[in-house]
């Protein structure tokens, strides 16, 4: 398939003189960091040919000192991340709700930089860990930087930022031996969670397939907190932010994720990079859920509670714009590693709420950047620098870039003509929403924060049967890594409040009896409650299932960017070419895999594995029947419920490998010629996975 041309100059940031990389030219002299041309870069200055190095060798010190300080402290959380440049464009003005300029001009393409990350692992950990993913977007607007800093799940583990250090200490590798890496499957995490009922909703998301996405291009993003929109008239509305991927929301199997981690721990990073380089630019639509300020208290949950979401049946998500990522970073460290996000980076028209987790983040993010990036001038690094002009009286500090020529560095003043002056509201000055406040100082939460299980139950009930099975197996695996029986028993008790059958299914793996629990009245959902219809949220129904919470109904009408492997030796090259042509015409990325390298082969069995592909095809019985690697290749694809096409006499391989009747399984096709099954194969790849095989590998029905 021909690569689409990459429009590198489209809506990307302007490069200033300070940002230009002058190291790529073909006729440039090697210099020190101060610009001194270097005559000899092979030998340090010594006292004689065999003498000691001299302290005066300033060229050696310049080079070594910079090398010694190349690493900065990695992020405590979200250390493992990937980033890309792009742009955002709103569909129509949102002036009814917000005066934010970039949300009111459909002709404007606002440059963005997005960073997507795992939470728990170190920088060198695998992309395929079971984990929440960070989803942060920096908008370079005409009114300054706006950062939307969220996750790929809409809720969080804790309700108040004061518990964040405890959560992260518990989930990080255990302090005495620093194991396990990038994993929640260990004792300290589950000990903490078993004592924190407010975490149960997020635990459902973490144990679901959402926690192991197929690609960062195929996962949702959420702002998590409730924010405010403020319009030109000063009217406030509450808003929840969503990022909806245009490729749909897809995952990988847990066994598959562990194998990918061994074969290609950079799987997600590589996938994002290659998609952009190929011109298959990732796209997300920005969605908003708007709640009028007067309706703040009309829900059974508190809008300020970060462990709760607003079911889309109550407040539909309105898709208001689109983000496209179309340029990879030029330098990982300078951009992806040094980018600094902060939920307090706002623009007029977007404001904060009293969410107690959000309030703590407003302190934590600045404090973190001071440590990581060396001081208060991190905003002057090229990746963090706003496009809007910056005028203020801030001076000096570590790593100051700006050379302030004015000697007037205070306000008010007359010697500088009163500049820089306060903008005022009429000139676009930011003003915080004047929310009335008068209450006692307390360390407490509102009563609605105490509902810890109803939305956890809603999430579990909303999952398809395969998704529920995967969630149960994930809990069995995670709790199987816990050595203390009391911790497992407490967790079974917690799960009983979510769903009795869920608790029983997990408990059976450990021989634990499920305790009888009584749900609080405001958290119970009758078993015969029908799925809610869309209706006004001021008549809040009892929502038992929410379609938006399951991946079963996600987009399944395209194979664009799907990776397909065709096993074919030289004798099967013609069939492989015919199938490859059909698949690439639909946007798939196809690789021909052979036993040994030949002219038409892209890879060999020694250099790849089926877990890094979305579907596979096999041409002919020979030479695969006696190759263990080929058998493993096909078995893994079958076990992970991927679409499989067997061409020619390839179908007889199943009998030879002891996979009787596998040809009858859902998502498995067979035909004498590639052209005869190409369209059905495309349909089956678009379905993503054929999870029915997990019930019965042949019929797909539970036996």
17 pLDDT higher than 60: no
Boundary (domain end) residue, out of 338, 368, 384 = 384
H/E segment holding residue 307: none
Spatial distance between the Cα atoms of 193 and 17, rounded to a whole number of angstroms: 50
Same domain, 231 and 106: yes
Phi/psi at 599 (nearest 5 deg)? -60, -35
Residue 57 confidence (pLDDT) above 80: yes
Average pLDDT over residues 326-346: 96
Q: Is 90 exceeded by the pLDDT of residue 651?
A: yes
Same domain, 533 and 575: no
Structure tokens at 656: 């030879």
Residues 631 and 674 both lie in one domain? yes
Q: Are residues 309 and 257 in the same domain?
A: yes
Backbone angles phi, psi at 675, to 5 degrees: -65, -30
pLDDT in tens, 388-406: 988 888 888 888 888 888 8
CATH number at residue 684: 3.40.50.880
Mean pLDDT over 635-652 rounds to: 97
Q: What is the CATH number of the domain that holds 89?
A: 2.40.180.10
In terms of Cα–Cα distance, which of 321, 299, 316, 317 is closest to 308? 299
Judged by DSSP in three states, 18 sits in coil
- pLDDT-derived band at 524 (thresholds 50, 70, 90) equals very low
Buried b / exposed e along 659-673 (16+ C-beta atoms within 10 A): beebbebbbbbbbee
528 lies in a domain?
A: yes
* Residue pair 664/652 in contact by the 8 Å Cβ criterion: no
Residue 1 and residue 588: Cα distance in Å, rounded? 8
**DSSP secondary structure string, 528-574?**
TPPPPPP--GGG-------GGG-STTS--S--TT-EEEEE--GGGHH
Is residue 10 predicted with pLDDT exceeding 70? no
In sequence order, the 6+-apart residues with CB closer than 8 A to the CB of 628 are: none
pLDDT digits (tens, 9 = 90+) for 256-265: 999 999 999 9
DSSP alpha helices (H): ranges in 373-484? 454-462, 465-480
Q: Would you state the structure tokens that stand for residue 235, as one six-digit string?
A: 């009217």
What is the pLDDT averaged over residues 137-146?
95
Q: Rounded CA gap, 247 and 107, in Å?
A: 24
Whether residue 650 lies inside any domain: the answer is yes
Same domain, 574 and 654: yes
In the block, tokens 């509670």 appear at: 305
DSSP state of 37: B
Q: Is the pLDDT of residue 18 over 80?
A: no
Spatial CB neighbours of 159, under 8 Å, sequence gap ≥ 6 = 198, 305, 306, 307, 356, 357, 445, 449
Residue 419 domain flag:
no
Q: Give the model's confidence band at 28: pLDDT under 50 very low, under 70 low, under 90 confident, else very high.
A: confident
Among 384, 407, 436, the domain boundary falls at 384
- 150 alpha-carbon distance from chain centroid: 9
Kindly tell me if the per-residue pLDDT of 160 is higher than 70: yes
The pLDDT, as a whole number, for residue 539 is: 46
345-371 mean pLDDT:
92
Using CA atoms, how far residue 266 sits from 127, 129, 144, 329, in Å, is 6, 11, 33, 16
Q: Say what the pLDDT of residue 363 is.
A: 87
Q: Which of 11-20, 283-292, 383-392, 468-477 has the lowest mean pLDDT?
A: 11-20
pLDDT at 8 over 60: no
Task: Give yes or no for a contact between 471 and 204, defined as CB atoms under 8 angstroms apart.
Answer: yes
Given 363, 384, 405, the domain boundary residue is 384
Q: What is the CATH number of the domain that holds 520?
A: 1.20.1370.20
User: Looking at the domain assignment, is residue 474 inside a domain?
Assistant: yes
**Angle separating helix axes 500-507 and 465-480, nearest 10 degrees:** 50
Lowest-confidence range among 284-298, 303-317, 542-556?
542-556
* pTM summary value: 0.91
The mean pLDDT of the chain is 91
Q: How confident is the model at residue 131 (pLDDT cuts 50, 70, 90)?
A: very high
Together in a domain, 527 and 619: no
Does 4 fall in a domain? no
pLDDT at 15 over 50: no
Q: Is the dihedral of CA 151, 153, 154, 158 positive or negative?
A: negative
pLDDT of residue 50: 83
Quickly tell me which residue has 């973490």 as its tokens: 206
Collect all residues with Cβ–Cβ distance below 8 Å to 525 and sequence separation of at least 6.
454, 457, 458, 461, 542, 544
Give the integer Cα–Cα distance in Å for 23 and 74: 26
In a 3-state reduction of DSSP, which class is residue 112?
Answer: strand
Residue range 348-357: mean pLDDT, rounded: 95
Alpha carbons within 13 angstroms on the beta-carbon side of residue 68 total 6
Tokens for 410, please give them: 């205070």
Rounded Cα distance between 135 and 282, Å, is 14
Asked if residue 40 belongs to a domain, the reply is no
Whether the predicted pLDDT of 520 surpasses 70:
no
What is the pLDDT averaged over residues 633-655?
97
Q: How many domains does the chain have?
A: 3
- At 519 the pLDDT is 67
Q: How far apart are CA 383 and CA 435, in angstroms?
A: 34
Among 23-27, 174-178, 378-382, the minimum mean pLDDT is found in: 23-27
Beta strands in 55-175 (DSSP E): 81-90, 110-118, 133-141, 144-151
Buried b (16+ CB within 10 A) or exposed e, 629-641: ebbebbbbbbbbb
Cα 104 from Cα 94, distance rounded (Å): 5
Residues 141 and 287 in one domain: yes
How far is 314 from 455, CA to CA, in rounded Å?
A: 13
The enclosing H or E element of 505 equals helix 500-507
- Asked if pLDDT for residue 535 goes beyond 60, the answer is no
* Three-state SS annotation for 400-418: CCCCCCCCCCCCCCCCCCC
What per-residue confidence (pLDDT) applies to 662?
A: 96
Do 87 and 204 share a domain, yes or no?
yes
| Bridging pattern class, strands 643-647 and 615-619 | parallel
Mean pLDDT for the stretch of residues 480-503: 97
Helix H or strand E encompassing 215? none
Rounded to an integer, what distance in angstroms lies between the CA atom of residue 608 and that of residue 586? 23
Contact 636, 608 (CB under 8 A): no
312 and 203 in one domain?
yes
Q: How many CB atoms are located within 10 Å of the residue 309 CB?
A: 26
- pLDDT category at 24 given cuts 50, 70, 90 is low
User: Which residue would you say has higher pLDDT here, 17 or 451?
Assistant: 451
Work out the average pLDDT over 503-523: 85
Gyration radius (Cα) of the chain, Å: 28
Q: How far is CA 51 from the centre of its chain?
A: 55
Is 535 in the same domain as 591? no
Q: Please tell me the number of Cα atoms within 13 Å of 269 on its side-chain side.
A: 18
**Does some domain include residue 232?**
yes
Averaged pLDDT for residues 533-549: 65
Clarify whether residues 198 and 327 are in a common domain.
yes
Write the DSSP symbol of residue 48.
S
For 455-466, what is the mean pLDDT? 97
pLDDT confidence of residue 14: 52
Render pLDDT for 188-237 as a digit per residue (tens, 0 to 9): 999 999 999 999 999 999 999 999 999 999 999 999 999 999 999 999 99
Is 39 part of any domain?
no
Contact by Cβ (8 Å): 339, 391 = no
Whose tokens are 């042949």? That residue is 698
Q: Kindly state the helix (H) or strand (E) to which residue 687 belongs, with its residue range.
A: none
Does the pLDDT at position 528 exceed 80? no
> Which residues span the domain enclosing 90?
81-384
CA pair distance 20, 41, nearest whole angstrom = 24
* Alpha-helical regions (H) of 154-209: 164-171, 187-193, 200-206
Catalytic residues, which ones?
78, 151
Which range (414-418, 499-503, 632-636, 656-660) has the least confidence?
414-418
The Cβ of residue 476 has, within 10 Å, a number of other Cβ atoms equal to: 16
Q: Which two tokens stand for residue 237?
A: 């509305």
Same domain, residue pair 582 and 516: no
Whether pLDDT at 6 is above 50: no
What is the mean pLDDT of the segment spanning 100-126? Answer: 97
Helices and strands per DSSP (H, E), number in the chain = 16, 16
């Amino acid at each position: 398939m021909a690569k689409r041309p990459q429009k590198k100059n489209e809506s990307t940031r302007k490069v200033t003189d300070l940002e230009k990389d002058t190291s790529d030219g073909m006729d440039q002299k090697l210099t020190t960091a101060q610009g001194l041309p270097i005559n000899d870069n092979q030998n340090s200055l010594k006292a004689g040919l065999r003498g000691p190095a001299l302290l005066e060798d300033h060229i050696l010190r310049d080079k070594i000192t910079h090398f010694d300080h190349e690493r900065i402290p990695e992020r405590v959380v979200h250390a493992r991340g990937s980033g890309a440049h792009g742009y955002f464009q709103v569909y129509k003005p949102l002036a009814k709700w917000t005066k934010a300029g970039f949300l009111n001009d459909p002709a404007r393409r606002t440059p963005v930089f997005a960073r997507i990350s795992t939470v728990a692992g170190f920088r060198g950990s695998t992309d395929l860990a079971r984990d929440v993913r960070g989803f942060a977007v920096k908008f370079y607007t005409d009114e300054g930087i706006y950062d939307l800093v969220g996750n790929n799940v809409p809720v969080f583990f804790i309700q108040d930022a004061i518990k964040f250090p405890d959560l992260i200490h518990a989930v990080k590798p255990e302090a005495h031996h620093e194991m396990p890496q990038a994993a929640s499957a260990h004792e300290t995490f589950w000990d903490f969670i078993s004592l924190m009922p407010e975490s149960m909703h997020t635990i459902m998301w973490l144990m679901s397939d959402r926690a192991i996405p197929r690609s960062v291009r195929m996962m949702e993003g959420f702002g998590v907190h409730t924010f405010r929109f403020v319009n030109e008239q000063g009217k406030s509305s509450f808003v929840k932010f969503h990022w909806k991927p245009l490729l749909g929301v897809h995952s990988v199997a847990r066994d598959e994720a562990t194998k990918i981690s061994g074969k290609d721990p950079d799987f997600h990073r590589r996938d994002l990079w290659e998609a952009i380089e190929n011109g298959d630019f990732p796209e997300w639509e920005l969605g908003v859920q708007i709640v009028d300020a007067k309706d703040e208290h009309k829900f059974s949950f508190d809008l300020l509670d970060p462990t709760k979401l607003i079911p889309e049946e109550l407040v539909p998500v309105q898709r208001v714009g689109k983000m496209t990522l179309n340029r990879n970073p030029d330098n990982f460290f300078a951009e992806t590693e040094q980018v600094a996000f902060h939920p307090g980076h706002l623009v007029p028209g977007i404001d904060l709420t009293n969410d107690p987790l959000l309030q703590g983040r407003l302190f934590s993010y600045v404090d973190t950047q001071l440590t990581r990036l060396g001081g208060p001038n991190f905003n002057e690094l090229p990746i963090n620098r706003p496009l809007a002009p910056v005028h203020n009286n801030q001076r000096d500090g570590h790593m100051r870039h700006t050379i302030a020529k004015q000697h007037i560095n205070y306000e008010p003043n007359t010697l500088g003509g009163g500049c820089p002056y306060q903008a005022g509201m009429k000139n676009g000055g930011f003003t915080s929403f004047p929310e009335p406040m008068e209450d006692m100082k307390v360390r407490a939460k509102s009563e609605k924060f105490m509902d810890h299980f109803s939305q956890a139950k809603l999430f579990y009930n909303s999952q398809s049967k395969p998704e529920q099975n995967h969630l149960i197996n994930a809990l069995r695996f995670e709790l199987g890594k816990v050595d203390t029986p009391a911790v497992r028993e407490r967790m079974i008790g917690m799960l009983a409040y979510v769903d009795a059958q869920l608790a029983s299914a997990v408990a059976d793996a450990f021989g634990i009896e499920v305790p009888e629990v009584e749900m609080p009245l405001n958290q119970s959902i009758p078993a015969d409650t029908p799925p809610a219809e869309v209706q006004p949220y001021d008549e809040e129904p009892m929502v038992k299932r929410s379609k938006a919470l399951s991946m079963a109904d996600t987009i399944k009408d395209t194979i664009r960017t799907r990776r397909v492997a065709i096993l074919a030796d030289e004798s099967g090259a013609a069939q492989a070419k015919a199938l490859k042509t059909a698949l690439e015409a639909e946007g798939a990325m196809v690789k021909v895999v052979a036993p040994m390298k030949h002219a038409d082969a892209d890879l060999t069995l020694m250099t790849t594995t089926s877990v890094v592909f979305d579907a596979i095809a096999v041409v002919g019985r020979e030479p695969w029947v006696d190759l263990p690697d080929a058998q493993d290749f096909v078995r893994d694809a079958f076990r992970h419920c991927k679409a499989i096409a067997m061409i020619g006499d390839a179908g007889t391989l199943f009998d030879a490998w002891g996979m009787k009747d596998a040809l009858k399984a859902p998502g498995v096709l067979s035909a004498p010629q590639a052209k005869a099954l190409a369209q059905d194969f495309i349909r089956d790849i678009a379905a993503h996975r054929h999870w029915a095989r997990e019930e019965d590998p042949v019929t797909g029905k539970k036996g």
